[in-house]
A and B are shown apart, each in its own frame.
Chain A
Amino acid sequence: MEKFTKLTTTAIPLPIENIDTDQIIPARFLKATDKKGFGDNVFRDWRYDTEDGSLIKGFPLNMPQYKNAQILVAGDNFGCGSSREHAAWAIVGFGIKVVISSFFADIFKGNALNNGLLPIQVTPEFLKQLLDTVQENPDTQITIDLKNQVVEFAGVHAECHTDPVEVQGRSTKADFDIDPYKKVCMINGYDDIDFLVSKKEAIEAFEKERVVFGR
């Protein structure tokens, strides 16, 4: 797994709630037996016209102003539905390293962390400010500092402050939570398999004591 410490980049706004993993990667693309190539089909049916297969120009992932962004900012309850880890592979494959939302579905969150994709949960207010800001100014740079658990972007959205001059040179900042164990994994690029394999003795000792009735 790739290490993650600090990242400064632009973001793609996707202000839609309840984005399910079927939208992130439709089932018909789950026939592969390796992890490659899913990025090409991320949000396939939102990026391409169902009838004629043409690119939908108004969809944020297709807009030139968001081309090199490495952060996806999405509405509440991101990644709900199917457990398919292909959704995390598709987002990573597209070049995204961080997803920011006000709420994540459990399984997606776990899958993301297991693939070096950082899910950052922020308050609905912060999310709105960030969405508004990157929609108004796609060049907005956002910094993710995993060590200090801080997300920060330049400027304060106009609606939040009466004096626009005040806004100059200021930034909006928020702390975010991450499981301490997962944080260590992300920073060092560790994954759970090695850790679990190292616990083999304890697992085997447990097996001798566990309750088993059936076959």
Chain B
Amino acid sequence: MGKTLFDKVWDAHVVDTIPNGPQILYIDKHLIHEVTSPQAFNELEARGIPILRPDQIVATADHNTPTINQHLPVEDPLSRNQLEQLSKNCKKHGITLYDLGHKYNGIVHVIAPELGITQPGMTMVCGDSHTSTHGAFGSIAFGIGTSQVAQVFASQSLLLKKPKSLRVSVNGILPPGVLPKDVILYIISQIGTNAGTGYFCEYAGNVFEEMSMEGRMTVCNMSIEMGARGGMIAPDQTTFDYIKGKKFAPQGDAFAKAVSYWKTLPTDADATFDKEYHFDAADIAPMLTYGTNPGMGIKINEHIPETGDMTFEKALEYMNFKGGSQLLDTPINYVFIGSCTNSRIEDFRVAANYVKGKQKAPNVNAWLVPGSQQVAKQLEKEGLVTVFENAGFTMREPGCSACLAMNDDKIPSGEYCVSTSNRNFEGRQGQGSRTILASPLVAAATAIEGKIVDITKTILA
């Protein structure tokens, strides 16, 4: 029987199998950041265990960093201490750190691909559930807890049970105005937030084959929002072209060799999956969430379901929406374009293309937070910063920002925020904040209009 992409990569990394137990899986790359690593460093220190492979670890500061005045000392003492701990730990153990202000600094899931650290066929982990992003390259990438961060520090390996396999296929032609973010929000709204729990997902079909790497990353990023530890897309010419020439990518002959290996990775025609879903691209529309988990999504011009269980009612009460109503015309005072889901150059190009020559509505605070210093530089180079600033948007410095609101970028209590991030949980963007997840295009349109509008009508017009 044939093997899946996941099988091939997994099997190539099994160090050992415990009888009736888990397997030891070797980890090629370990990404770390300031929030989920300090306790792991402490743990090893307390036990007197050295870090086995510091050269396979890359660190960045992103979750708890300010997005204004990054050149100044961090004001909040707790945040400053956490960032200093990361610097100290990395220095002590010889780990590469792209600290605040470094030209490669940015959100961990944005910088690793843009530096060529992420490559097909690899196993990658990070103490962050959106590590699934890197699966866009055909790597096994998943989020881990801090105890596991310590395990990888100590052994460059993890003890894991092989997950089951799931494939989501989307074929056909996407309607105008439908972005990769809409595709993944649609999938989650159809299959629910725990359909993928216990599974690793592969996305297949012409819709993903025709997507850019940025789009594929947006899709794989949100795999965890349907419960899947990771999501993968078979590497192809689009993948190879993206990686070629990147700083840490194989160069010259090594690149050619790598490509010939990467070409062996896609799922065999006769491989089978434990679970499969098929969707028609034509049924997808620009999406919005109305509740407090990413599965509570509807098409932009649909109505919120009439009724549901206690959890549904609690979510609607929190969001101050009524069952059966539409989200169109809801006044919106906050728009956030950023996060590891949608802060890459392509996301800002889409938004800028819509915004160009228009003015932001006076009621809207529109925050644009690029995913990395390199994205910020590119925005400048392409003249997009001017486009946004002329339209009245605020351009901030790179970081996770209002996606999780650990820093000062918080949405006030009771306010709606149309956000390109990945989670609409209660209070995710600040205590009492109400998040509506959407694509960068819908977010940009909301900022211009000051309310939710049917983007499909605007685009078709």
Contacts and interface: CB of A to CB of B under 8 A. Distances in A.
Interface of A: 15-18, 20, 22-23, 26-28, 30-35, 45, 50-51, 75-77, 80-86, 88, 103-107, 110-111, 114-115, 179-181, 191-193, 195-197, 199-200, 202-203, 206-207, 210-215
Given A115-B147, A192-B147, A179 B193 contact: no
B423 A22 contact: yes
B81 to A, nearest CB: 7
B127 A83 contact: yes
A110 B148 contact: yes
Interface string B1-18: 000000000001101101
Contacts of B249: 214
Contacts of A82: 128-129, 404, 423
Contacts of B148: 110, 114, 192
A197 B428 contact: no
B15 A17 contact: no
Given A16-B314, A22-B426, A213-B257, A200 B155 contact: yes
B309 interface: yes
Contacts of B171: none
A181 B159 contact: yes
A103 B197 contact: yes
Contact of A195 (B35, B159, B423, B428): B159
Given A20-B293, A22-B427, A77-B227, A50 B193 contact: no
Given A34-B42, A45-B426, A106 B197 contact: yes
B78 A31 contact: yes
B15 A33 contact: no
Interface string B448-461: 00000000000000
Per DSSP, are chain A's interface residues mostly helix, strand or loop, or mixed? loop
B227 A215 contact: no
B271 interface: no
Contacts of B28: 210, 212
Contacts of B150: 193
Contacts of B21: 179-181
Contacts of B446: none
B404 to A, nearest CB: 4
B144 A106 contact: no
B193 A18 contact: yes
B147 A114 contact: yes
Contacts of B391: none
Nearest to B43: A193
B113 interface: no
A198 B378 CA distance: 47
B39 interface: yes
B145 A203 contact: no
A30 to B, nearest CB: 5
Contact of A214 (B82, B119, B145, B147): B119
Nearest to B22: A181
Interface of B: 12-13, 15-16, 18, 20-22, 24, 26, 28, 35-36, 38-39, 42-43, 47, 49, 52, 63-64, 76, 78-79, 81-82, 85, 116-117, 119, 121, 127-129, 143-148, 150-151, 154-159, 161, 163, 193-194, 197-198, 224, 227, 229, 248-250, 254-255, 257-258, 261, 293, 309-311, 314, 404-406, 413, 423, 425-428, 431-432
A173 B49 CA distance: 43
A213 B20 CA distance: 33
A77 B194 contact: yes
18 contacts: A18-B194, A22-B426, A31-B76, A34-B38, A34-B42, A50-B431, A80-B194, A83-B129, A85-B127, A107-B229, A110-B148, A114-B147, A181-B20, A197-B155, A199-B155, A203-B156, A207-B26, A210-B28
B108 to A, nearest CB: 12
A206 B79 contact: no
Per DSSP, are chain B's interface residues mostly helix, strand or loop, or mixed? loop
Given A81-B425, A192-B151, A203 B15 contact: yes
Given A23-B427, A35-B39, A203-B52, 13 more contacts: A15-B310, A18-B311, A20-B423, A23-B425, A26-B427, A31-B81, A32-B78, A51-B413, A82-B129, A114-B148, A195-B159, A203-B156, A213-B250
A34 B39 contact: yes
B154 A50 contact: no
A30 B197 CA distance: 25
A114 B78 CA distance: 26
A202 B42 contact: no
B57 to A, nearest CB: 14
Contacts of A18: 193-194, 293, 311
Given A22-B423, A50-B413, A83-B144, A30 B24 contact: no
A31 B82 contact: yes
* Chain A to chain B: the 4 pairs with minimum beta-carbon distance, closest first: A181-B21, A213-B258, A114-B147, A196-B155
Contacts of A211: 12, 121, 261
Contacts of A215: 248, 250
A211 B143 CA distance: 23
B16 A202 contact: yes
Contacts of B52: 200, 203
Contacts of B16: 199, 202
A86 B147 CA distance: 11
A28 B427 CA distance: 10
A90 to B, nearest CB: 13
B252 to A, nearest CB: 11
A175 B39 CA distance: 35
Contact of B154 (A22, A77, A193): A193
A45 B431 contact: yes
Nearest to A26: B427
A33 B42 contact: yes
Nearest to B120: A213
